[in-house]
Structure 1
Amino acid sequence: MKKIAIETLRAGQAFTQPVYIEGNNLLVPAGIAVRKKDIERLRAWGVQTVFTDGEAVSDAGAQKPAKAGAVKSSAEGGSGEPDAVKVSSHILTLPAVHENKSVYRAYTDLIDRLNTVFGQVSSGVSVEARSIDAIVGRLLQAVRESRVQVIGFILGGAVAGTELAKSSVNAAILATLIAIEMKMPNHRILHIATGALLHDVGMLKLPKEILNKQGGLTEVEAQRMKAHPLYAYKIVCKELLYSEDVGIVALQHHERWDGDGYPRRIAGEAIDISARIVSVADAFEAMVSEKSYRNSMIGYQAMKNLLSDNSRRFDPDVLKAFIRTMGIYPIGSIVLLNNGSIARVTEVHGEAPLRPLIRILIDDFGKAYEQDEGETVDLLSEKSIFIARAVDPKDYAGTT
């Protein structure tokens, strides 16, 4: 394909063949005029060249952009780039969260129940394993019956004040999804979900001044932090009387594929597969959650970080299964489309992680849709529309 410098493009110009951005990302179809807004966006995104096999045609012979599937064309009178649009915060909130639907109440109930268990462990109160088993059973049921919604809660939930319980439930949801994608037998999925739920229980044995410290840890503090998998293993196997299949998750979830982890510095397949799965789930959950020492990442940035691992920290096969499950733009992500619309990712295609299903939240006219009223677009079939970039919901949410 021929390269065309952005500086040479003119508004109203068209080509005899489609024009692309970086491979298969379509800018405009053949014969469709490039808009001034298109050129401005390319510059804003730092794109310097586009590609086409076609020849430029006269501006007079170009067609105006038509509707692309369910998304309105801003060439037909759109209000422009919606980056400046500030909308009522509930527009960007997941409907189940805003309306407190039963599936969201079930999710928050899991967190509350686990938080109670953690409180008992921290206080030295005896905990019966069956109370944890009940939480695991409810979690597995939620994943199987309401998969899309519970994934969305990981990025779009609004649970505060129960950070350890919330991160543990989220990690267990993600680990369960990976195990299902990898076609693990049911008894292994049960062990993985239980182990993921309890993998950080050893944190309860650490001083709060270490857990909540905003600056860097001293060498002594870091060593104490690295002991939490050992504490967790002891709690899981000695106090809660779970089997080694569950305890090994807590013990090994900070081991690394390259052998540079802790506490035992084992590598590769010497690390139990359950722990390898929970390691990926735990890492993603940690990146998308607020911490005392940093802000949360958006889901896309967290996925990019995982993809750049290059077999250092994570089992490549587990990572591939996670990407098939979550996509590059995880369910619940807020994204900016090439036509200027803002949308939420509602489902992913495992075979095409860059082309998820989306629901329009703010169209290219600047119109904001109430909960679930925006059109749903399958980017796998709507080839003229693509995700320009993921965005942070906080950049768009207003104060009402």
Structure 2
Amino acid sequence: MRLVNINYVKDGAVLARPVRNSNGQILLGAGIVLTKDYIEKLKTIGFDVLFVMDNRFEDVEINYAISDKTKEIAYSTVRGITHALEQDPNAEIDAGSVRYAVLNIVQDLLYSSDILSNLTDIIGYDEYTFHHSINTTVLALLLGIEKKYNQNQLIELGMGVLMHDIGKTKISREILNKKGKLLDEEFEQIKNHPLFGYDYIRNNHDFSLLSAHVAFQHHEQWAGGGYPRGLEETEIHEYARIASVADVYEALTSKRPYRDAMEPYLAYEYIIVKAGTQFDPDIVNLFSRAVAPYPTGIGVQLSNKMQGNVIRQNPELPSRPVVRIIADGDVSLDKPIDLDLSSPQNLSIMINKTLNW
């Protein structure tokens, strides 16, 4: 299978993986032949990428970060709590359901056999608000695992991250989904959501106070200048420093009402460049080891003009995966070639850009 931008999926392509809606229900099953009508409808809903069959990549397995069941549990939890607080700001967050959702995510990640390639499925969703919290939690927990946190620490971190934006229930949807630039007074309202979230969580004694600090501090910056308190360096709790990196990377790689999703490698580079200013350098170092800039399945062009798709990750060198070459410039190859960019003889070859084919 290959990962293809929906704008380049051809009429007659065959789905390699089911397409599910935000509730986890299957819209189109694996093996369905995609017509122009199907493709246009999926674009309208908000899907950015699809997994399609390609006999040149029939041996390539692209693993998901978490199972469909785990996603459904997490989605239902975040949606239910969000709706409850929107209807009654005094409603209590069900900490038990949050803990259960996070525990499922932790278990899925710990048992993953291919942790570098399992972020592919977080690219592009139609319901940003709920999925952002889930995807950010997956990323944060990957960093926590890389940090060698024990299970209790992972649960504390995950519960805080899953609820990190819950304070936005007190912000109007018009402001949250505004396509144009926010007015100063609108941005000031947005800047209140960490405090709102902190109050929600800390007043529930079934949450750790450290989980509450994730919501409170995830917009603080390593060199200062963040909000709501303008904290610096280790004044910011480590959980929140992890959440900050995960939050920004996920936001950049997701479609928003006012912009398209950024390519994963560009978002990856943004995080790396902001080490020491926006982000804790040690956390960025964890990020560079835990996240692949070129997800498995994505199309790439190399510096030698060869083109192909990433088929496997190299955990020791995440930026140098194995690429299956299917074209040399504009000329298709009769037989694909697998090129391991981590091999000494290939170290002069770089990935120039990603392809949407």
| TM range, smaller chain | 0.7 to 0.9
Q: TM-score, normalised by structure 1?
A: 0.67
The residue aligned with 1:120 is 84
CA 1:127–1:348: 2 relative to 1, 3 Å: same
Judge conservation of contact 1:148–1:347 (CA < 8 Å) in 2.
yes
Judge conservation of contact 1:346–1:357 (CA < 8 Å) in 2.
yes
Any idea what SS the aligned residue of 1:141 has? helix
Matched-pair identity in %: 29
Tell me the matched-pair count: 301
2:10 matches 1:88 = yes
Any idea what SS the aligned residue of 1:187 has? helix
CA 1:171–1:91: 2 relative to 1, 3 Å: farther
1:298 is displaced (CA, Å) by 0.5
Residues 272-308 of structure 1, C-alpha deviations (whole Å, 9 max, x = no match): 0000001000010010011112111000110111122
Judge conservation of contact 1:300–1:333 (CA < 8 Å) in 2.
no
CA 1:380–1:296: 2 relative to 1, 3 Å: same
CA 1:122–1:93: 2 relative to 1, 3 Å: farther
The residue aligned with 2:104 is 138
2:165 matches 1:195 = no
Distance in 2 between residues matched to 1:279 and 1:271, nearest whole Å:
10
2:320 matches 1:349 = no
Any idea what SS the aligned residue of 1:390 has? strand
Judge conservation of contact 1:348–1:357 (CA < 8 Å) in 2.
yes
Of the three residues 110, 126, 132, the one matched with 1:167 is 132
CA 1:332–1:277: 2 relative to 1, 3 Å: farther
The residue aligned with 1:391 is 354
Judge conservation of contact 2:294–2:310 (CA < 8 Å) in 1.
no
The residue aligned with 1:154 is 122
2:268 matches 1:306 = no
1:119 is displaced (CA, Å) by 1.8
1:150 is displaced (CA, Å) by 3.8
Judge conservation of contact 2:81–2:94 (CA < 8 Å) in 1.
no
Structure 2: unaligned runs, 5 residues or longer: 1-6, 20-28, 31-50, 52-62
Any idea what SS the aligned residue of 1:341 has? strand
Any idea what SS the aligned residue of 2:79 has? helix
Counterparts of 1:136-285 in structure 2 under 5 Å? 136-146=102-112, 147-148=115-116, 150-155=118-123, 159-161=125-127, 163-239=128-204, 241-285=206-250
Q: TM-score, normalised by structure 2?
A: 0.74
The worse-fitting range, judged by mean Cα deviation, of 140-149 and 326-335 is 326-335
1:359 is displaced (CA, Å) by 4.9
Of the three residues 289, 306, 310, the one matched with 1:324 is 289
Distance in 1 between residues matched to 2:67 and 2:333, nearest whole Å:
27
Judge conservation of contact 2:253–2:267 (CA < 8 Å) in 1.
yes
Distance in 2 between residues matched to 1:276 and 1:202, nearest whole Å:
18
Q: Letter of the 2:221 partner, please give it.
A: R
Judge conservation of contact 1:334–1:342 (CA < 8 Å) in 2.
yes
CA 1:228–1:274: 2 relative to 1, 3 Å: same
Distance in 2 between residues matched to 1:92 and 1:344, nearest whole Å:
20
1:382 is displaced (CA, Å) by 7.2
The residue aligned with 1:292 is 257
Judge conservation of contact 1:154–1:170 (CA < 8 Å) in 2.
yes
CA 1:219–1:276: 2 relative to 1, 3 Å: same
Distance in 2 between residues matched to 1:243 and 1:204, nearest whole Å:
21
Query: Whose radius of gyration is greater, 1 or 2?
Result: 1
1:363 is displaced (CA, Å) by 4.1
